[in-house]
């Protein structure tokens, strides 16, 4: 299906999201849901990727598409204070993803990740080679500028690289740490805001595994479902007590991480019986869930209180409130592409 939105991304604290579109880009505030910025096709052309720097005036933009104004191998930095581009990065191959923090920008290509100082006197600090990464999977911590952890694909099937960027380029910089997370290729990953936990899902999409980033040990294994699925998004809440996940089945699942007794388990596990499918029956299942349009990619994140938002590329916005008992009720439904502009940001 030909959706109007080509890509969706949250900013670092999930308080805003951006839409990459064939006719430009849009930026929205989540709570309340309001459009804050629109750059049309004459200004930026078709856009394949947009990254925000927190809630500042800086955006990283990657072109490409039917009405491309810039090539797919260039990252342009837009400063909304001056209403113009102020910086650009050019590569030999297509740019798939971008992340920014206070003093660095991370740019993801299919087989490598580049780290630059940013925004002043920008220069390359690091290049990390990866396994083929067509989805541009890469995450950074956001809560502490003194500890900047980068997670991306490793060199082997199902492996993850964790890189401490805090001292990159200095004598005491550390080598990447590798976690063997799955037996098949990783298809989705997320870091919590503190950089202490990393969640991964494989291309099978049935299990989500969470690892401690310091010890590299598996903390918990969560089961999304029994059937294979494509996971579009995983996100922790601010204190890592919950995790949400959205898949192409049209379902957003919510798991408990601190009080795992809230998560559902099979009748065999509750009864203490030994099952021939022990790995399956001992799994922890989500304690609540809600549905959006199936086969429609979406991103999900936690909002104020016990709420979860799901933002879909068909232009719809869903907000649900959940309870510890597993009840889930819709609080908001909107079509964000039809919202009016709000000038004050």
3-state SS assignment for residue 264: strand
pLDDT computed for residue 291 by the predictor: 96
Between strands 316-322 and 307-312, the pairing is antiparallel
Contacts of the segment 230-234: beta carbons below 8 A, 24+ positions apart: 230/187, 230/203, 230/205, 231/187, 231/188, 231/201, 231/205, 232/188, 232/297, 232/298, 232/299, 233/188, 233/190, 233/298, 233/299, 233/300, 233/301, 234/188, 234/189, 234/190, 234/199, 234/201, 234/208
Report pLDDT for 209: 98
Kindly list the averaged pLDDT for each block of 10 residues, start to end, along the chain of length 345: 91 96 96 96 97 96 94 98 97 97 95 96 96 97 81 97 86 80 97 96 96 96 94 96 97 97 73 46 88 94 96 97 96 92 48
CA nearest neighbour of 173 among 181, 185, 165: 165
Query: Taking a C-beta distance cutoff of 8 angstroms, is the pair 247, 230 a contact?
Result: yes
Q: By three-state DSSP, how is residue 338 classified?
A: helix
Contacts of 112 (CB under 8 A, 6+ apart): 127, 128, 129, 130
What is the per-residue pLDDT for 4? 86
The set of residues, in sequence order, having a beta carbon less than 8 Å from that of 8 and lying 6+ positions away, is 17, 18, 19, 20, 297, 298, 299, 311, 312, 313
Please report the pLDDT score of residue 169 as a whole number: 67
Closest CA to 9 of 317, 231, 299: 299
Q: Does domain 234-345 have CATH number 3.30.70?
A: no
Q: Do 169 and 202 meet the contact criterion of CB atoms below 8 Å apart?
A: no
Determine the pLDDT at residue 335: 96
Q: What is the pLDDT of residue 278?
A: 45
What pLDDT is attached to residue 157?
97
Backbone angles phi, psi at 279, to 5 degrees: -60, -35
252-270 pLDDT, tens digit each: 999 999 999 999 986 544 4
What pLDDT score was predicted for residue 2?
Answer: 83
d(CA 207, CA 280): 10
Res 132: pLDDT: 97
The C-alpha atoms of residue 147 and residue 223 are separated, in whole angstroms, by: 30
Are 65 and 76 spatial neighbours (Cβ–Cβ below 8 Å)? no
CA atoms within 13 A on the CB side of 147: 11
Identify the pLDDT of residue 142. 74
CA atoms within 13 A on the CB side of 260: 12
């Amino acid at each position: 299906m030909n959706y109007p939105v080509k890509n969706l991304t949250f900013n670092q604290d999930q308080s805003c999201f951006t839409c990459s579109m064939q006719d430009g880009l849009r930026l929205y505030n989540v709570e309340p849901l309001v459009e804050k910025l629109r750059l049309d096709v004459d200004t930026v052309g078709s856009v394949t990727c947009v990254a925000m720097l927190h809630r500042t005036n800086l955006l990283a933009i990657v072109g490409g598409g039917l009405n491309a104004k810039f090539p797919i191998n260039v990252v342009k930095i837009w400063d909304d204070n001056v209403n113009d581009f102020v910086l650009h990065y050019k590569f030999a191959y297509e740019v798939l993803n971008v992340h920014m923090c206070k003093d660095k920008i991370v740019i993801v290509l299919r087989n490598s990740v580049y780290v630059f100082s940013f925004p002043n006197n920008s220069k390359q600090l690091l290049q990390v080679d990866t396994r083929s990464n067509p989805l541009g999977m890469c995450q950074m911590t956001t809560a502490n500028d003194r500890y900047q952890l980068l997670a991306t694909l490793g060199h082997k099937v199902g492996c993850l690289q964790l890189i401490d960027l805090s001292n990159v380029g200095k004598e005491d910089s550390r080598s990447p740490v590798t976690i063997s997370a799955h037996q098949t290729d990783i298809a989705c990953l997320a870091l919590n805001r503190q950089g202490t936990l990393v969640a991964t899902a494989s291309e099978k999409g049935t299990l989500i595994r969470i690892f401690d980033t310091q010890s590299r040990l598996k903390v918990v294994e969560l089961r999304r479902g029994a059937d294979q699925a494509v996971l579009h998004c995983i996100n922790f809440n601010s204190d890592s007590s919950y995790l949400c996940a959205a898949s192409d089945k049209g379902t957003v699942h919510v798991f408990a991480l601190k009080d795992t007794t809230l998560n559902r388990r099979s009748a065999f596990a509750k009864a203490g019986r030994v099952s021939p499918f022990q790995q399956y029956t001992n799994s922890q299942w989500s304690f609540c869930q809600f549905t959006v349009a199936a086969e429609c990619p979406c991103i999900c994140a936690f909002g104020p209180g016990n709420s979860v938002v799901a933002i879909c590329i068909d232009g719809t916005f869903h907000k649900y409130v959940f309870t510890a008992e597993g009840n889930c009720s819709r609080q908001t439904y909107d079509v964000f592409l039809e919202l009016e502009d709000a000038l004050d940001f």
